[in-house]
Amino acid sequence: MLKLDQHLVQMLNDNKYVVSYDTGSITIKMSSGKQLESQVSLTIAIFAFLFGVNPTILLLVLLLLLVPILYDRWKFPKMITFNIHEEAVYIKKGIILGNEVAIHDIYDLYGEKNELSSDVSAFKEGNTDYIYKLFLSTKSGKVHKLLRLQFREERDGQISQLTRYLKNLKPVK
């Protein structure tokens, strides 16, 4: 019941997302390559702190520690778990930031499509990137980012199929 179609799993894999299944839950996780920025910033901050406690360096360390946290706050999540048994969606954005949304509190799950095109030359047609963003809105009006998918060709059908699948995840009683 929880299994995604293979072509949807492949579509997510193409965007460096990994789909895993557990009893009563499905997890869509960003592969470790996309979370490298936060890890590098944290490592630099730790090394800066170890080399001295000069007030300037201390301020730099605090700034370096703050940057990944602020970045994690506004980026797309690195892990989303739809847990049917607990009737909740867990959205983990970064190292420490995350949200939990009750399934009965979900108002809508929708997507947005953006087209980015670039012209290579005046004589040749440029490339077009299609960027799809999926969002989850709650009854209280809060909007949570879920996925950001980018392709060279339109995938409207597959994106709407993925959105329908995620909307229909309901607890079995």
Per-residue DSSP letters for 117-143?
Answer: EE-S-SSS--EEEEEEEEEEEETTS-E
Q: Give me 112's structure tokens.
A: 């947005």
What pLDDT is stored for residue 72 in this prediction? 59
Does residue 77 contact residue 143 with C-beta atoms inside 8 Å? no
172 pLDDT higher than 60: no
Would you kindly state where each structural domain of the chain is located, as residue ranges?
6-35+73-167
What pLDDT is stored for residue 169 in this prediction? 79
Q: Give me 17's structure tokens.
A: 């997302």
What pLDDT is stored for residue 36 in this prediction? 58
CA dist 53 and 42 (Å) reads 17
Torsion angle, CA of 146/115/117/71, rounded to 10 degrees? Answer: -30
pLDDT tens sequence across 57-114: 667 767 777 776 666 566 788 899 999 889 999 999 876 778 899 988 999 999 999 9
Dihedral sign of CA atoms 86, 90, 96, 97 in order = negative
- Reduce the DSSP state of residue 40 to 3 states and report it: helix
Phi, psi angle pair for 104, to nearest 5°: -70, -10
What pLDDT is stored for residue 23 in this prediction? 85
Read off the pLDDT band of 1 (50, 70, 90).
low
pLDDT tens sequence across 4-62: 889 999 999 999 899 999 888 999 998 865 455 566 666 766 766 676 566 676 677 67
Cβ neighbours of residue 162 under 8 Å, at least 6 residues apart?
Answer: 4, 8, 11, 134
Q: Which residues on neighbouring strands pair with residue 29, listed in sequence order?
A: 18, 79
The better pLDDT of the pair 131, 172 is held by 131
